[in-house]
Amino acid sequence: MEMSSKTAREIYAEVKSNPARKKFGFGKKAALINIDPQKAYTCVGEFKTAYETDPRQLEYINELAKKFRAKGWPVVWTHVAYMQDASDAGIWGTRTDTEDSLQNIKFGSRRSEFDDRLEIDRVKDVIYLKKMPSAFFETQLQSLLVWHQVDTVILTGGSTSGCIRATAVDALSRGYRTIVPEECVADKHESYHFANLTDLLLKYADVEDVSSVYQWLDGSTPEELSVIAD
């Protein structure tokens, strides 16, 4: 094992700036998957479980959603919530049992609600309830992507070390080009955040500046989709 005194942020910066690092790249059609941007994780100062990395994260996510809708591409929002007795939380809900614990995000609670700053189109967008880290696990996401002939997924939300990573691994395993806009994901601590961005970069996804994702979306007109380079 290689030893280092560098911080997770420093290691990430080195990996990201490596010009020899091959990218998966964007494909022909994408889906935007916004993972658990709910109050339990976004309302910093109200809930201990909440976190913020880039203060404009939700603004960027809203802009991405607008661009996806304009292209007629899928916009997906996921959230977690559990029954009153938490009997649907599985083994994941057994490690702690405090008011801040995962299994105590109850249906109908403020912690289960999407952040009020999000611009969700409840007619056009897709909303999935999930129980486990990956947005693919026991949801209809895979069927949705197949129907829309998607080959690329853009992941936003949190946490970087948890549900983002789990979804990225599942996306890669299913053959999707996976893109993580750096400013659009967040975690509780910078160490977890940057260590997992590094791991995503090296193994499972392309971590891009959100401006690069905007540029791709703005440049990919329906007529151009068939000639986008792999």
Among 163, 171, 197, 207, the active-site one is 163
Q: How many CA atoms lie within 13 A of 106 on its CB side?
A: 10
Instruction: Note if 163 is an active site residue.
Output: yes
Do 53 and 97 meet the contact criterion of CB atoms below 8 Å apart?
no
Residue 39: DSSP 8-state: H
pLDDT tens digits, 108-129: 999 999 999 999 999 999 999 9
> Identity (one letter) of the amino acid at 117?
R
Instruction: Give the H/E segment covering residue 179.
Output: strand 177-181
CA atoms within 13 A on the CB side of 158: 28
Residue-range domains of the chain with CATH = 23-220 (3.40.50.850)
Say which amino acid occupies 42. Answer: T
- pLDDT for 181-193, tens place per residue? 999 999 999 999 9
In the prediction, which pLDDT does 220 show? 57
**pLDDT, position 1:** 86
What residues of the chain score a pLDDT lower than 50?
221-230
Residue 43 has phi, psi (to 5 degrees) of: -85, 80
What are the phi and psi torsion angles at 25 (to 5°)?
Answer: 85, 165
Under 8 Å CB-to-CB from 75, ≥6 apart: which residues?
Answer: 31, 32, 34, 65, 68, 69, 121, 124, 125, 126
Distance CA 161, CA 106 (A): 23
